[in-house]
A = this chain, B = another copy of it.
Amino acid sequence: MNQPGESLRDRKKRRTRAALERATVRLAAERGYDHVTVEEIAAEADVSMRTFFNYFASKDEALIGADPEAGPRMAERILAAADEVTPFEAYRQSVLAEITDELNSARDLWLLRKEVLMQRPDLLVRAFANSAESEQLLANAVGKRAGLPESHLYPRLLVAAGSTAFRCAVTRWALDDNVALGDLVSEALDLFGTGLAHVPHHHEGGS
């Protein structure tokens, strides 16, 4: 009973994790992030509170529910990119790919998260604090590709710009429904790419 696919155990784990994430987001959107206790979340997902913490290191983490494999996946993608692709472009692609996948598979959750993040923008920042290891991983990948020494600022900055782009895009996205989050992230990354020294042109349109 050891199929290449997934054992019953694995399936159950994925379901539990998803249920906890979903419960967290749903309840937080409904009554406000800190009017929901982990105990209630666990109850909603039909597990014990202790189990919640077996899956997520913190309430914050459960709200964002970042895929722990996203970092390694992106790093791999960056290293696998064709030689003529710049490090920036490789990184950009890996970010956009990840975001697109995420949004396609959980768009409804993000709509709820938006409600929460509108009230508490700091939660998004805090969520990224946990991914320090992933950042290091990605920075190393970028650094390797760029042929820069370990100590150089550029890889760190590029990777951090990715989180920042995402964060700002979400904040902006929360303002109205007329823009796709993916497009905003892309736009933000482009701005980082071309530089912030000059004010970009302002396209008409929007609400």
Contact = CB atoms under 8 A, between A and B. Distances in A.
Given A122-B132, A196-B192, A197-B194, A164 B157 contact: yes
Contacts of A146: 199
A175 B151 contact: yes
- Name the prevailing secondary structure of the A interface residues: helix
A55 interface: no
A169 to B, nearest CB: 7
Interface residues of A, number: 52
A167 B176 contact: no
A202 interface: yes
Given A129-B129, A164-B160, A202 B122 contact: no
A61 to B, nearest CB: 12
A153 interface: yes
Interface stretch (A3-11, A96-104, A183-191): A183-191
A171 B188 CA distance: 23
Nearest to A159: B168
A68 interface: no
Interface in A159-207: 160-161, 163-165, 167-169, 171-172, 175-176, 184, 187-188, 191-200, 202, 206-207
B193 A195 contact: yes
A43 interface: no
Contact of A161 (B86, B123, B126, B161): B161
Nearest to A154: B200
A168 B153 CA distance: 7
Nearest to A151: B175
A58 to B, nearest CB: 11
9 closest Cβ contacts across the A-B interface? A195-B195, A125-B129, A193-B197, A122-B129, A156-B168, A146-B199, A160-B164, A194-B195, A126-B129
